[in-house]
């Protein structure tokens, strides 16, 4: 006698209908597990996507040259920026001649006070050129950016971040006004467009001035960084080598800089976040294990409650295999319904979240749903084996009489 799938469903449905609350609770348990796996991994994946977009929003490939070098492998880059031999504007200009380098933005960085009438504010001040705007894909919301003349002349002009503008000028017009920066007076030629943090740098609370002006202001020729925009087709490793060659030639044979590529930074972030997401997924799937144990428990109970039915089935010729199949099928059916509920719940939450915080969309990684299903069905299968065996081993005569063996 063969058993059709519909028979299986009928058998299982009877149970589900007979014990609605119990079934609902089981589904809840599975749904919680599946939903938490999907939601938590999409949190991790969302963070990864966010970082990816932050990097690629610029749409270009950036190399950063930092003064100083460290020889400990695996150590961080030299963050102090203070070295005996400065990285200078002349070095930056020399790097611009390397083929494949589209733009070079030298950066002098410092903190200084910027004041207008009786208001003042301590801000991070970047000395750079028009190339900085191109490399970082920055634009002004009003006025204009630093001109190409800023590459060589210490012009007394500045571009304000929106927050600096608001703090100093409120809602009145800033363009054309003179502000005091450190001990100098500079004319405001532009206000940056409203854009939040970019790569951890709050551009809203910054002041941009020509690089030569910054050298004078901070009385130091030393560059904090040089940013290079490289051609999409260029091989960044080769350009990195060329940068080191140029620097060596200019620094008496010393290779005293560190080159960081955006690609390698992105790769490092990626691998950290992927590991984190996997760890979170593993932790969340523990709840599926707990749900699996619960299902086994309930199956055992239902086997003992349905002894008579099982006995009857066996008496009319059902094989042990078919009985096993009935109970394993029941567990898998529960798992699939629970998973469906969990997936629906998780995705509706993700949709709601996307409505509320469009800038940080949660995106479940492609493997999240398959992995959650795999764990759910895996535990469902494993934990139904024992109850199924118990059911299959029932003696039909005793079972029909409702007696214990």
Partner 1 sequence: MNLRDSSGWIFRALWMQRTRTLLTIIGFSIGIAAMVLLSALGEGLRVFVLNEFTQFGSHIIAVNPGKTETFGIGGLLNTTRPLSLSDASAIGRLANVEEVVPVVMGNAKVKFGQRARYTDVAGVGGAADKAWKLELAQGRFLPADDLQRARALVVLGSKVKDELFAGLNPVGSFVRIGSERFRVVGVAAPKGEFLGTDLDDMVFIPAGKGMQLFNRQSLMEIDIFFNPRATSEAMADKIRRFLIDRHGFEDFTITTQDQVLATMDNILTILTFAGAGLGAISLLVGAVGITTILMITVSERTAEVGLLRALGGTTNTVRTLFLGEALVLGLIGGVCGIALVALFLLLTYLFVPGLPVALSPTIVFGALSLSMIIGLLAGGQPAASAAKMTPIDALRAE
Binding site for partner 1 (CB under 8 A): 19, 21-22, 25-26, 28-29, 32-33, 36, 40, 67-72, 75-76, 78-86, 108-113, 122-124, 182-183, 202, 205, 214, 217-220, 222, 224, 254, 256, 280, 283-284, 286-291, 293-294, 296-298, 300-301
Question: d(Cα 331, Cα 367) in Å, to the nearest integer?
Answer: 23
The position carrying tokens 């990195």 is: 240
Q: How far is the CB of 294 from partner 1 (least distance, A)?
A: 4
Question: DSSP strand E in 241-380: where?
Answer: 257-261
Q: Which is nearer to partner 1, 293 or 315 (CB)?
A: 293
Q: How far is the CB of 345 from partner 1 (least distance, A)?
A: 13
Q: Which is nearer to partner 1, 288 or 318 (CB)?
A: 288
Question: d(Cα 41, Cα 276) in Å, to the nearest integer?
Answer: 9
SS3 (DSSP) at 84: coil
Q: Which is nearer to partner 1, 268 or 315 (CB)?
A: 268
CA 138 to each of CA 97, 160, 195, 228, 364: distance values in angstroms, whole numbers, following the listed order: 23, 12, 9, 15, 31
Q: How far is the CB of 34 from partner 1 (least distance, A)?
A: 11
Q: How far is the CB of 191 from partner 1 (least distance, A)?
A: 18
Q: Angle 368-392/262-305 helices, nearest 10 degrees?
A: 20
**How many residues are present in the chain?**
405
Q: Which is nearer to partner 1, 235 or 254 (CB)?
A: 254
Q: How far apart are the first and last CA of the chain?
A: 26
Q: Which is nearer to partner 1, 175 or 300 (CB)?
A: 300
Bridge-partner residues for 394, per DSSP? none
Q: Which is nearer to partner 1, 50 or 175 (CB)?
A: 50
Q: Which is nearer to partner 1, 84 or 317 (CB)?
A: 84
Q: How far is the CB of 85 from partner 1 (least distance, A)?
A: 8
Question: d(Cα 34, Cα 289) in Å, to the nearest integer?
Answer: 11
Q: How far is the CB of 6 from partner 1 (least distance, A)?
A: 28
Torsions phi, psi for 344 (to 5 deg): -60, -45
CA 263 to each of CA 44, 66, 260: distance values in angstroms, whole numbers, following the listed order: 20, 16, 9
Name every residue whose Cβ is closer than 8 Å to that of residue 165 and which is 6 or more positions away in sequence.
174, 191
Q: How far is the CB of 72 from partner 1 (least distance, A)?
A: 5
């Amino acid at each position: 006698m063969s058993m059709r799938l519909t028979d299986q469903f009928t058998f299982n449905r009877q149970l589900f209908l007979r014990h609605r609350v119990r079934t609902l609770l089981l589904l809840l348990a599975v749904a919680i597990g599946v939903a938490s796996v999907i939601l938590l991994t999409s949190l991790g994946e969302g963070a990864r996507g966010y970082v990816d977009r932050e990097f690629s929003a610029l749409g270009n490939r950036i190399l950063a040259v930092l003064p100083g070098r460290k020889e400990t492998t695996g150590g961080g880059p030299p963050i102090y920026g203070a070295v005996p031999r400065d990285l200078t504007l002349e070095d930056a200009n020399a790097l611009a001649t390397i083929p494949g380098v589209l733009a070079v933005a030298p950066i002098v960085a410092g903190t200084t006070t910027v004041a207008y009438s009786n208001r003042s504010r301590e801000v991070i001040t970047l000395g750079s050129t028009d190339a900085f705007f191109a490399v970082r894909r920055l634009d002004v919301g009003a006025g204009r950016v630093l001109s190409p003349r800023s590459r060589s002349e210490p012009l007394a002009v500045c571009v304000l971040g929106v927050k600096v503008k608001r703090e100093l000028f409120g809602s009145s017009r800033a363009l054309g006004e003179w502000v005091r920066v450190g001990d100098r007076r500079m004319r405001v030629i532009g206000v940056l467009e409203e854009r939040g943090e970019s790569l951890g740098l709050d551009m809203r609370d910054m002041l941009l001035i020509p690089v030569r002006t910054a050298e004078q202001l901070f009385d130091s020729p030393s560059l904090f960084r040089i940013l290079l925009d490289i051609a999409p087709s260029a091989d960044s490793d080769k350009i990195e080598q060329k940068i080191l060659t140029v620097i060596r030639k200019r620094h008496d044979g010393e290779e005293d800089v560190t080159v960081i590529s955006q690609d390698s930074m992105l790769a490092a972030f990626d691998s950290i976040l992927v590991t984190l997401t996997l760890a979170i997924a593993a932790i969340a799937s523990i709840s599926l294990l707990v749900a699996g144990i619960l299902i086994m428990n309930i199956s055992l109970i239902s086997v003992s409650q349905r002894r008579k039915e099982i006995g009857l089935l066996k008496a009319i010729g059902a094989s042990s295999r078919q009985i096993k199949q009935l109970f394993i099928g029941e567990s898998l059916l529960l798992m699939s319904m629970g998973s469906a509920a969990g997936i629906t719940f998780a995705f509706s939450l993700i949709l709601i979240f996307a409505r509320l915080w469009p800038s940080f969309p949660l995106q479940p990684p492609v493997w999240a749903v398959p992995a959650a299903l795999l764990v759910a069905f895996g535990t469902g299968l494993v934990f139904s084996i024992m109850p199924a065996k118990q059911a299959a081993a029932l003696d039909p005569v005793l079972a029909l009489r409702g007696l214990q063996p």
